[in-house]
Amino acid sequence: MIGRRCDVTTRTLPEQKKRAEIPHRRERLVVRLWNRLGVEARSLLPTWIFFMFSFSLLRLTQNVILSDAGIDVVPPSKVFVGSLIVAKALLTVDRLRLFTRFQHGPILVIVVLKTLAYMLVAFVFQYSQGIYEHRHMVFAEAAREVALRFTTARFWVIQAWLVVLIFAFAATREFARRIGRSRFRRLFLGR
């Protein structure tokens, strides 16, 4: 019994520290990852809510118009995924900090530039999603299928709506940035 205790205590101090640090490193990594996910979710949430609401209104309009003709409509899951894609595309462009040079210029210039950049990134995300949906095909065939989807009138009407929605969103965010979030909230919500 005494010999066992001596064996345990004969470990060197660096070995004991190393063994004690491993769980702490993992815990710190998990906490950092969890905090990062929380920050990402908080930044994504307002954008996602705006586009989820907007795309739901577009879906409702499509349902009303197309149901009379007996045509299949967009499922709610596509609205959910589409709004997440657009929200993530917007946040991706914002993280690049491309527009810091134009911060003090006219709001209209910044909004138009951001709308163009957002649309470009949203288009890339849409294309990637289309390729992913056809992942069971050879890449060339999947690319052709996605390109065919991009030639329909429905696609271009949705893109027109997307430009208007992104422009309105970018303009609102730019006004909020210029006058300050608290002042914008007070003017907009009365608080």
Give the Cα separation of 175 and 107 in Å (integer).
8
Inform me whether the pLDDT recorded for 127 exceeds 80: yes
| pLDDT of 13 | 59
Q: Where are the domains of the chain?
A: 47-189
* Dihedral sign for Cα atoms in the order 134, 139, 142, 147: positive
Report pTM. 0.68
**C-alpha closest to that of 171 among 122, 121, 118, 124:** 118
The fraction of the chain above a pLDDT of 90, given in percent, is 3
| pLDDT of 21 | 58
Contacts of 174 (CB under 8 A, 6+ apart): 107, 110, 111, 114
**DSSP percent split of the chain into helix, strand, coil, nearest 5:** 85, 0, 15
Reported as a single tens digit per residue, the pLDDT across 164-191 is 988 998 898 888 888 888 888 888 787 6
DSSP conformational letter for 102? G
